[in-house]
C-alpha cells in the first residue's frame, strides 16, 4: 500500500516496536496506559453482556465456541454509528477524506456497519469524536465506550514528532489510512489480536491495552489488529479473520 511494507522496519523502530519483539516502555496512570504507536485505553474488565445480534445461519455470539477478539459489552447497540471531527472543518480536508474512504472500504464494506455524519462535532455530539493531534494515535476506550467522549479517537496527520517515517510523500497517505483502519477496529470493540490467550509467545509479549472477552476466529497473524504482523497494520486491509469477525458482530453488508 504505497510503500508501507518496504518501510515497515524503520517505521516500527521509530515507534519503539519490532514485528515480534518487546513493546516500548509504558507510562501507567490510575486508569490508563500509554505506549508509543499503541492505542490508549481505559482499563476495564466488563462481563460478557451483549447479545443484540445473532446473524442468520450462525449460532449467535454467546454460542460461538473456541474461535477478531471482541469486548462484548462494548459492541454498539446498532451498526449505524455517528462519526465527527473535533477540529475545524477547514483543516486537513484531504486527510479526513482519506480516513473516511479507508474506513468505508474496509469495515463498512464488509459488514452492516454504517458510519454516518463525518462533519464537525457539536458540543453534545454522540458517536465517535475524532481529534487530529501531533501524538501517537489511540482510542480512549473500545466500541461504545467512545460514545460521545470528547477526543475519544486521536489521529495524527502531520507526523512531525511521532513516527517521522510517515512524513515521506510516498508513505504519508498510506500511514494515515492504515492507522485509521486499525483505530476504527478498536472503535468497533475489537481488541489487539496479540492480546489473545492463544497468541504465540513471541507475539504475546506485545500485548497492550484492554482485552476482549470473546474469540471469534482462530488466532490471526494477518489481522489489522495484530502488532505481530509482517505488514504494518496489514497495509490497511482487513484480513479474512477481520472480515469474519465484523460480520459476526455487526451483520452481513
Query: Which of the pair, 14 or 178, is modelled with greater confidence?
Result: 178
* Phi, psi (deg, nearest 5) at residue 40: -100, 125
**Which is it for the CA torsion 96, 98, 102, 104, positive or negative?**
positive
What is the pTM assigned to this prediction? 0.72
Give the tens place of pLDDT for each residue, 163-192. Answer: 999 999 999 999 999 999 999 999 999 887
Q: Please check the confidence at residue 17 and state whether its pLDDT lies above 80.
A: no
* Per-residue pLDDT tens over the stretch 108-121: 999 999 999 999 99
Q: What pLDDT, on a 0 to 100 scale, did the predictor assign at position 119?
A: 96
**Domains recognised in the chain with CATH numbers:** 8-44+66-250 (3.40.390.10)
- Span 43-89, pLDDT tens digits: 222 222 222 222 223 333 332 222 377 889 999 999 999 999 999 87
Please tell me which residue, 194 or 176, carries the higher pLDDT value: 176
Q: What angle do CA 159, 161, 164 make, to 5 degrees?
A: 55
* φ and ψ at residue 123, rounded to 5 degrees: -60, -35
Residues with Cβ within 8 Å of 90's Cβ and at least 6 positions away in sequence, in order, are none
Cβ(136)–Cβ(175) under 8 Å? Answer: no
What does the alpha-carbon distance between residue 46 and residue 133 come to, in Å, rounded to a whole number?
30
pLDDT tier, 2 (very low <50, low <70, confident <90, very high otherwise): very low
Helices (H), 16-162: 93-103
Q: How confident is the model at residue 207 (pLDDT cuts 50, 70, 90)?
A: low
pLDDT at 51: 24
In this predicted model, what pLDDT tens digit does every residue of 130-159 receive, in sequence order?
999 999 999 999 999 999 999 999 999 999
Amino acid at each position: 500500500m504505497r510503500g508501507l511494507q518496504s518501510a515497515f522496519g524503520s517505521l516500527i523502530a521509530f515507534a519503539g516496536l519490532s514485528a515480534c519483539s518487546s513493546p516500548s516502555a509504558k507510562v501507567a496512570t490510575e486508569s490508563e496506559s500509554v505506549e508509543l504507536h499503541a492505542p490508549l485505553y481505559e482499563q476495564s474488565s466488563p462481563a460478557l453482556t451483549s447479545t443484540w445480534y445473532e446473524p442468520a445461519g450462525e449460532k449467535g455470539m454467546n454460542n460461538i465456541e473456541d474461535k477478531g477478539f471482541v469486548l462484548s459489552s462494548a459492541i454498539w447497540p446498532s451498526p449505524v454509528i455517528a462519526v465527527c471531527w473535533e477540529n475545524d472543518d477547514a483543516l486537513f480536508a484531504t486527510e479526513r477524506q482519506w480516513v473516511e474512504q479507508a474506513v468505508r472500504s474496509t469495515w463498512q464494506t464488509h459488514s452492516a456497519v454504517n458510519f454516518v455524519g463525518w462533519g464537525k462535532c457539536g458540543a453534545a455530539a454522540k458517536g465517535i469524536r475524532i481529534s487530529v493531534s501531533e501524538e501517537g494515535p489511540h482510542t480512549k476506550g473500545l466500541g461504545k465506550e467512545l460514545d460521545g467522549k470528547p477526543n475519544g479517537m486521536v489521529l495524527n496527520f502531520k507526523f512531525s514528532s511521532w513516527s517521522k517515517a510517515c512524513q515521506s510523500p510516498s508513505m504519508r497517505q498510506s500511514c494515515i489510512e492504515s492507522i485509521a483502519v486499525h483505530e476504527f477496529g478498536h472503535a468497533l470493540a475489537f481488541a489487539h489480536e496479540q492480546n489473545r490467550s492463544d497468541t504465540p509467545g513471541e507475539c504475546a509479549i506485545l500485548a497492550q491495552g484492554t482485552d476482549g472477552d470473546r474469540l471469534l476466529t482462530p488466532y490471526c497473524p494477518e489481522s489489522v489488529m495484530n502488532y505481530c504482523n509482517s505488514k504494518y497494520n496489514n497495509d490497511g486491509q482487513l484480513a479474512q479473520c477481520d472480515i469474519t469477525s465484523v460480520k459476526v458482530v455487526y451483520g452481513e453488508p
